[in-house]
Structure 1
């Protein structure tokens, strides 16, 4: 249906006459009459009763106007959205992140982001790295944060962080006074490790093997926050990713550098078919700034 027909009809309904509608639209009166005639022929129904140069809307016209007004509200919303996009603001940003960065790091970033981009909605999916990679490859998100390595294609990946895991021991623990810990130091205490199917679990097991130390965890989990909480409760000792460790600093826990260094390799995933915009770039800048700020607090 030609939107010009609807514009002419709406103008007549709002002004009450064809001549007033023509003036409103900046067209001639005969041109507006022709548009109205074409609309009635297309619909197959009379919208006005014509008597002695006057037109009176029918009941059908009133119903049609209600539908057109709803359409114009949508068009106004679309126009507003287009204006924001032209200024570089996306209406929403779809993200996905592994729990280690999604539970505390990203909420801090979003707190700053909202100050500058209050009209941009950010949808944050918290899931395992393998799912973040899957969504990035299928172009379902604008950005993702996941632990490497990656096995799929369809996205650009760059290093977001490679800071090392740190040892976490309960305050007052026999190891709490040490300046640095190694696998042999942890062997005689209940050790909270990562599930073997995770990248972290495999890296930790490899570090123990390389030092000739038997790796026998007393507890296993796949979420950093749960591991850290177990240390806080005095259940055992653990290796914690740097983001969870620093964001969750607690007097009940002592963070200690660990050797050999095990990098927490996080990749930033950008799907190839989803274009960048100013809002997304601003979010990325804030993420980098918060990362740099937090990592200065790591124990050395």
Structure 2
């Protein structure tokens, strides 16, 4: 036996409203249309569903037995419809992300938190990975999206500019160079420096700036994360030269930022697989990230 869903819905609304007229009003159809649907359902199930009593439809005992199962079945369908709408809106599901560790621990954390608060049924996994691994995971669609510094040198990755910011000097509290509006390589000639390790594009650009200025940098300490670099600044080891957006997360105890000159910019993008369309939830997350960076004043328009 195959039952008609519209007829079951008419049956449910008739029970709830007590008449075919009330059911028609709820369903947005005519009263005769409801009567035809009820008649069809009676033919399909093989017994009467309603008796007429003083102008009202009264459910038969058989109809009352059927009613609970109809409510359960149609309730499940309602939940499926709601789930489908939410999936279409990007409100449920799972989003898998890769990103540089300093971005995850810094500005990305509040952005992800606010996105999750707006989408309570969404599950998100985020993995800090190095550039090469992140690009491979994105290109092979092992993850849905990621973040990385631009330009990206991988044919399987599509990049959309997201945020741009400058390189800054992170100064310990009450440092003499805090009186300067900007700090160049010559200002740092006799200063102990904290730099991120060799092999990074940002480190190569900093080394080139010192070379052009004819200054040999006094590298007191090398480290691998922006958080640790700022921790050493706070403990008086020296001055760190870092990405401004990342460094702001770790400022404490009177530490100050001054722009480094010449200007060295960091451009980060939102990364997805080049050969695949973005899912609704990925599109929603990109829009949220772009809006968040605009509020921070770091959007790469």
Fold equivalence (TM over 0.5) = yes
Q: In structure 1, what is the equivalent of residue 215 of structure 2?
A: 213
Quote the Cα distance in structure 1 between the aligned partners of 2:137 and 2:244: 25
Within 2, Cα distance between the matches of 1:100 and 1:147?
12
Match of 2:96 in 1: 94
Deviations 1:89-110 (A, max 9, x none): 3501111111221112122012
1:240 corresponds, among 236, 239, 242, to: 242
2:173 matches 1:165: no
Q: How does 1:1-300 map to 2 (within 5 A)?
A: 82=84, 84-295=86-297
Which contiguous aligned blocks of 4+ residues in structure 1 show a shift greater than 4 angstroms? 75-83
- Residues 273 and 98 (structure 1), Cα distance of their counterparts in 2 relative to 1, 3 Å cut: same
Query: CA distance change for structure 1 residues 201 and 294 in 2, over 3 Å: closer, same or farther?
Result: same
Inter-partner Cα distance in structure 2 for 1:90 and 1:281: 13
CA distance 1:86–1:193, shift in 2 (3 Å): closer
Partner of 1:49: none
1:137 and 1:154 in contact (8 A); partners too: yes
Contact kept, 8 Å, 2:190 with 2:218, in 1: the verdict is: no
Unaligned runs of 5+ in 1: 5-22, 29-74
The CA deviation at 1:78 is 8.2
DSSP 3-state at the match of 2:256:
strand
Normalised by the length of structure 1, the TM-score is 0.68
Q: Is the 8 A contact 2:272 2:278 kept in 1?
A: no
CA positional deviation for 1:272: 2.7
Flag structure 2 segments of 5+ consecutive residues without an equivalent: 3-40, 47-76
Q: 1:77 Cα shift?
A: 9.6
Q: CA deviation at 1:27?
A: 8.1
TM-score by length of 2: 0.68
Q: Secondary structure at the match of 2:228?
A: helix
Asked if the contact 1:228/1:245 (under 8 Å) is kept, the reply is yes
Tell me, what secondary structure is at the counterpart of 2:261? coil
Would the aligned equivalents of 1:100 and 1:243 in 2 still touch at CA under 8 Å? no
Equivalent-residue separation in structure 2 for 1:133 and 1:113 (angstroms)? 23
Q: Which shows bigger deviation, 190-199 or 84-93?
A: 84-93
CA shift, 1:239, in A, is 1.0
> Residue 136 of structure 1 contacts residue 269 of structure 1 at CA under 8 Å; is this kept in 2?
yes
Which of the two has greater strand per residue? Answer: 2
Aligned length: 231
1:270 shift after superposition: 1.4
